[in-house]
Structure 1
Amino acid sequence: MTCFVVKLLQRTQLSHSQVDVKPFIYARCNWLDDEAEFHFLSTFNNQNYRGSLKYTEIRSAANDLDLEYEAFLAECKKALTTHMGLTGFDYEISQEDEQPQAFKLYKCAGYETLYLDIPLKKVSNCYQLLDGAIDLGQQQATPAPSPDIEQKTKVMLEEYEKYVTASKQKETEMLKKFILLINSKKAHIRDLKRQLEERPERHSKQRKIISDSEDTDKDEEEFGAATQAMNIENDS
């Protein structure tokens, strides 16, 4: 539940014979869960009125104007809760000779559009409106923060800033160490690859040396073999 009491300027059609006297509308609106309640006091005739609108009726008005409901409701609420009225809106309570009487909210943006038409009933007093104004006046303002709270808040902010700074420094140091570790791992991997590439060549050289050694040993064995005796047959 949200209650507001404001003073609105009622629009008038001024003729040449009329004095420029601006009548006002004192308005109390109470926004409930499913409807909005209104109490009005017109200074034009010192008459009190009350009325109400269901949110379903406000939604229907938005649909008739091809407007999005939430935005339409917010705009109407702002127009009805702004002291001295919201710029671009006109407010009117129809005269007694117009039946039924109604409170009308117009939006004037190059052309006039009727936003809300709230049916009214006369009431004998303005107690509801006065009660709403008194309740709002009795609401205590938010107390100013005490010096102790301000000091504690300041200390907490300073400690938080120190913590953030230290965390960033620690993060930078850890990142540097991580980069060094990664570079070391990369160098180790490159060294392993180099060793793997050199190993086949080393094995090939070793196999060649062994093969040459075996050939040499074979030649030596053949050279050191026993000499066979030659048989010479004498011609008889």
Structure 2
Amino acid sequence: MSAFVVKLLQRTLSPSQKDVKPFIYVRSNWMDDEVEFDFLSTSDNQNYRGSLKYEELRNAASDLDQAYNDFFAECKKAMTTHMGLQGFDYDLSLENGEQQVFKMYKCEGYETLYFEIPLRKISSCYQLLDAAIEAGLQKPQAVSALESDVQKTASLAEYEKYVKDSKLKEELLLQKFLLLINSKKAYIRDLESQLEERSKKPSKERMSQRISSEDEDEAYGAATQAMNIDIDSD
């Protein structure tokens, strides 16, 4: 259940000779299956009361080919917005000169009647005044709630900044660690390469010595060549 007190501008179809525009003060009490209204008209200084079943809103939404939830939300916003919702007209007048009726229209290119509420005249507007007083007393709570929301938003922003900074530091440390690991791997590969080269050098020297020895053996085992000696004859 939620209660609202707002001031609506009553529409006038003909130019008024008065400088004072007519207003309608509205108290609405939104319950589980219906909404109750108290109206105070400044045009005749009379108080009226009426109610609207949610089933009637459901039927109106069906007639207008609209989704009920969207239609209900739009109607509630139009009836609980101070000075009325843009694009809507509000009228409180006699129907057929007998029944007082409140009507709400949506005016976008053409006029569409959203709903009408039959009213009965009441002697006082105490409930409307009480609701206005209660709404005034609830304002500090609303401010406190707003401050609480601001604090929550600030705390959330600080937490998000902390998480972001922590992730950034973690990424930097990871990059440094990877650089260190890569440098260690390069150093190990260099050592392995040097060790492999050193292990190959003795093999090459032994191979050279063996080849040299084989050459000497071949030279030693070769046939002795005759030497040509010139003998001088006397």
Deviation at 1:139, TM superposition (A): 2.2
Query: Hey, what does 2:205 align to over in structure 1?
Result: none
Question: RMSD of the alignment, in Å?
Answer: 4.5
- Distance in 2, matches of 1:25 and 1:169, equals 59
- Distance in 2, matches of 1:143 and 1:107, equals 30
Query: Hey, what does 2:31 align to over in structure 1?
Result: 32
Q: Secondary structure at the match of 1:171?
A: helix
Q: Which runs of 5+ in 1 are unaligned?
A: 192-236
* Paired letter, 1:88: G
Deviation at 1:3, TM superposition (A): 1.3
Deviation at 1:65, TM superposition (A): 0.7
- Stretches (4+) displaced over 4 A: 142-145, 180-187
Q: Which runs of 5+ in 2 are unaligned?
A: 191-234
Which whole-Å deviations, capped at 9, do the CAs of 1:131-190 have from their partners, x for residues lacking one? Answer: 111111222414978xxx9xxx8xx97xx57x8376245412442255348758987xx9
Deviation at 1:33, TM superposition (A): 2.3
Query: Hey, what does 2:9 align to over in structure 1?
Result: 9
| 1:40–1:170 Cα change, 3 Å | same
* Paired letter, 1:113: T
Query: Hey, what does 2:64 align to over in structure 1?
Result: 65
- Distance in 1, matches of 2:165 and 2:124, equals 67
Q: Secondary structure at the match of 1:63?
A: helix
| 1:26–1:175 Cα change, 3 Å | same
Deviation at 1:98, TM superposition (A): 3.5
- TM normalised by structure 2 equals 0.64
Tell me the number of residue pairs that the alignment of Structure 1 and Structure 2 aligns: 207
- TM normalised by structure 1 equals 0.63
* Paired letter, 2:31: L
* Paired letter, 2:110: Y
- 1:72-221 correspondence to structure 2 within 5 Å: 72-95=71-94, 97-142=96-141, 164=162, 167-168=166-167, 170-176=169-175, 179-180=178-179, 183=182
- Distance in 2, matches of 1:82 and 1:33, equals 20
Q: Percent identity?
A: 62
- Distance in 1, matches of 2:86 and 2:95, equals 27
* Paired letter, 1:11: R
